[in-house]
C-alpha cells in the first residue's frame, strides 16, 4: 500500500472552510493559521469567520471573562486592523471594551454585545445619543 502525505495547504478552499467552520473563529484566528501564509490568511478572513466575533472567554457556568492580554494584544495590533471592515458584530467584556473599540474603525459594525458592564457606566457612555438597546443582566 502506498501512502501519500497531504498537507493542510493542499486542500481546496471549500474543504478548508468546512473544517474551519467547526472550530471557534476566535481560536482559529488567534491560535493557529492567521498570518501563516497568504492563502490561509485569505480563507480565514472570509466573512464566515470575521463577521461575528466573541472577544471574551465564556465559561460553562455562563460567567464571562476578558481574554488574556497576549490574545488581546494580537487581536488589537494584528488581526482586527486587517479584518475591521468585515466585522459586523462584536461581543466583548467591559474591561477590554475600550481597547478593542479604539484599536481600529469598524465601518460595518451594527451590533455590540457588552458583558459585565454596570448599568450606570453604560448610561454614562451614551449620554446624548439616541440608542435602542436591551439591557440584560446575566
Q: For 38-53, what is the mean pLDDT?
A: 75
pTM > 0.75: yes or no? no
Give yes or no for a contact between 96 and 53, defined as CB atoms under 8 angstroms apart: no
Give yes or no for a contact between 100 and 63, defined as CB atoms under 8 angstroms apart: no
pLDDT, tens digit, for every residue of 12-36? 877 777 777 766 666 666 555 566 6
Give yes or no for a contact between 116 and 64, defined as CB atoms under 8 angstroms apart: yes
85 band by pLDDT with thresholds 50, 70 and 90: very high
Please tell me the predicted confidence (pLDDT) of residue 130: 56
State the CB neighbour count (10 A cutoff) for residue 112.
14
Residue 103 is given by DSSP the state S
Q: For 101-113, what is the mean pLDDT?
A: 91
Amino acid at each position: 500500500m502506498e501512502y501519500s502525505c497531504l498537507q493542510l495547504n493542499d486542500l481546496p478552499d471549500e474543504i478548508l472552510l468546512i473544517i474551519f467552520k467547526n472550530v471557534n473563529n476566535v481560536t482559529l484566528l488567534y491560535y493557529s493559521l492567521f498570518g501563516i501564509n497568504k492563502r490561509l490568511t485569505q480563507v480565514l478572513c472570509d466573512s464566515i469567520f470575521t463577521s461575528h466575533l466573541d472577544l471574551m472567554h465564556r465559561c460553562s457556568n455562563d460567567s464571562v471573562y476578558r481574554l488574556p492580554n497576549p490574545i488581546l494584544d494580537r487581536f488589537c495590533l494584528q488581526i482586527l486592523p486587517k479584518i475591521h471592515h468585515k466585522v459586523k458584530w462584536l461581543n466583548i467584556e467591559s474591561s477590554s471594551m475600550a481597547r478593542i473599540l479604539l484599536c481600529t474603525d469598524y465601518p460595518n459594525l451594527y451590533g455590540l454585545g457588552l458583558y459585565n458592564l454596570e448599568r450606570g457606566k453604560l448610561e454614562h457612555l451614551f449620554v446624548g445619543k439616541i440608542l435602542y438597546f436591551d439591557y440584560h443582566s446575566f
